[in-house]
């Protein structure tokens, strides 16, 4: 079991990978048992060769996407603490020791490298990325009642408990959103750590698709809200159906009936009753799924205990 595993997902990062690996090695030399892992994700340049040349342990993930890479990392590597950092040389490696000690000494489950509270908006030259980061942060903190200050950062530290109980479902860059919400919903200890951010060096290109990845992130947020808070999610639709039913019933049925004691709008009566039935169906669907989600939370606590016991066994070995 490694003491500290540095996880670097990489795709076509030949320009910066050597510098990132060397910088990381320089700050972890005082942490015995540390290993730098570079996971190459079908790079078309010599990223893997350069990383191996400077001493990183290079492995490959052939399913394309950052989510697929992280799934492979989390499954294959056992460590007391993990730190994930991007290979594009935009994050300060000097923050690694402090993040590591938060995981080991304070039993934090996830440390979030917070770019947005420092230099991100000055350094980042893509205005829509700035807007998107702020929008996603506000949306998630509102829906999930949390205070994570940088939802989409790729600079994070994790405990063994988090890594071995996190179900990786996303394949792309929305994985960071999934991590943030999972930690919040499972009541894991999360801390923000303000870091400085610098934009990519000239000639290095971002792999992000501003609009495509942005839409996928929003979709992920909605799906996760539905999964973790089904009663609240379906109650919104139930309330809308009920309100539409009552408005239609009063306007097209009750008011005409009170005027001449006849029901001239039978189609409106039928539609209002259908909407009322849909309201009840969605309400009870949310109630049932909410009960299932409560049971899932109990099962997760048992899985967390198993992960902690497995960590103790690995440490003793």
Q: Any idea where the domains of the chain sit in the sequence?
A: 2-228, 230-316
Domain 2-228 superfamily per CATH: Spore Coat Polysaccharide Biosynthesis Protein SpsA; Chain A (3.90.550.10)
Q: Please give the Cα distance from 197 to 119 (Å, whole number).
A: 5
Q: Please give the Cα distance from 227 to 176 (Å, whole number).
A: 17
Query: Radius of gyration (Cα) for the chain, nearest Å?
Result: 25
Task: Please provide residue 229's backbone torsions phi and psi, each rounded to the nearest 5 degrees.
Answer: -130, 65
Over its length of 317 residues, how does the chain's per-residue pLDDT go in tens digits? 899 999 999 999 999 999 999 999 999 999 999 999 999 999 999 999 999 999 999 999 999 999 999 999 999 999 999 999 999 999 999 999 999 999 999 999 999 999 998 888 777 767 666 777 888 889 999 999 899 999 989 999 999 999 999 999 888 778 999 999 999 999 999 999 999 988 877 666 666 666 676 788 888 899 999 999 999 999 999 999 999 999 999 988 888 878 777 777 788 889 999 999 999 999 999 999 999 998 998 888 888 889 888 888 888 87
11: which 2 tokens? 């795709």
Question: What is the model's pLDDT at position 210?
Answer: 62
Question: What is the model's pLDDT at position 290?
Answer: 94
Q: Please give the Cα distance from 98 to 100 (Å, whole number).
A: 5
Question: What is the model's pLDDT at position 287?
Answer: 95
94: which 2 tokens? 């000097």
Length reported for the chain? 317
Task: Please provide residue 92's backbone torsions phi and psi, each rounded to the nearest 5 degrees.
Answer: -80, 120
Q: Please give the Cα distance from 206 to 187 (Å, whole number).
A: 33
3-class DSSP state of 244: helix
Whether residue 280 contacts residue 237, with contact meaning beta carbons closer than 8 Å, is answered with no
Question: What is the model's pLDDT at position 208?
Answer: 64
């Amino acid at each position: 079991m490694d003491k500290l595993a540095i996880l670097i997902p990489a795709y076509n990062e030949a320009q910066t990978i050597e510098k990132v690996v060397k910088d990381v090695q320089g700050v972890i030399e005082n942490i015995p048992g540390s290993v730098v892992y570079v996971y190459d994700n079908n790079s078309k340049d010599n990223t893997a060769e350069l990383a191996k040349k400077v001493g990183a342990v290079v492995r490959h993930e052939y399913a394309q996407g950052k989510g697929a890479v992280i799934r492979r990392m989390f499954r294959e590597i056992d460590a007391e603490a993990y730190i994930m950092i991007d290979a594009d040389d935009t994050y300060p490696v000097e923050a690694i020791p402090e993040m590591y000690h938060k995981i080991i000494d304070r039993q934090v489950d996830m440390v979030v490298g917070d770019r947005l509270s420092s230099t991100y908006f000055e350094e980042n030259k893509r205005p829509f990325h700035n807007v998107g980061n702020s929008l996603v942060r506000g949306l998630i903190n509102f829906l999930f009642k949390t205070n994570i200050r940088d939802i989409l950062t790729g600079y994070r530290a994790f405990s063994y408990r988090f890594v071995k109980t996190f179900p990786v479902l996303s394949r792309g860059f929305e994985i960071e959103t999934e991590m943030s919400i999972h930690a919040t919903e499972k009541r894991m200890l999360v801390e923000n750590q303000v870091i400085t951010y610098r934009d990519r060096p000239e000639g290095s290109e971002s792999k992000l698709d501003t609009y495509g990845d942005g839409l996928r992130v929003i979709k992920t947020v909605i799906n996760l809200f539905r999964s973790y808070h089904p009663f609240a999610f379906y109650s919104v639709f139930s309330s809308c159906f009920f309100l539409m039913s009552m408005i239609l019933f009063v306007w097209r049925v009750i008011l005409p009936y009170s005027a001449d004691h006849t029901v001239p709008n039978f189609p409106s009566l039928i539609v209002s009753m259908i909407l009322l039935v849909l309201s009840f169906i969605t309400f009870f669907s949310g109630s049932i799924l909410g009960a299932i989600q409560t049971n899932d939370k109990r099962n997760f606590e048992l899985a967390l205990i198993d992960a902690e016991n497995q960590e103790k066994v690995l440490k003793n070995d």
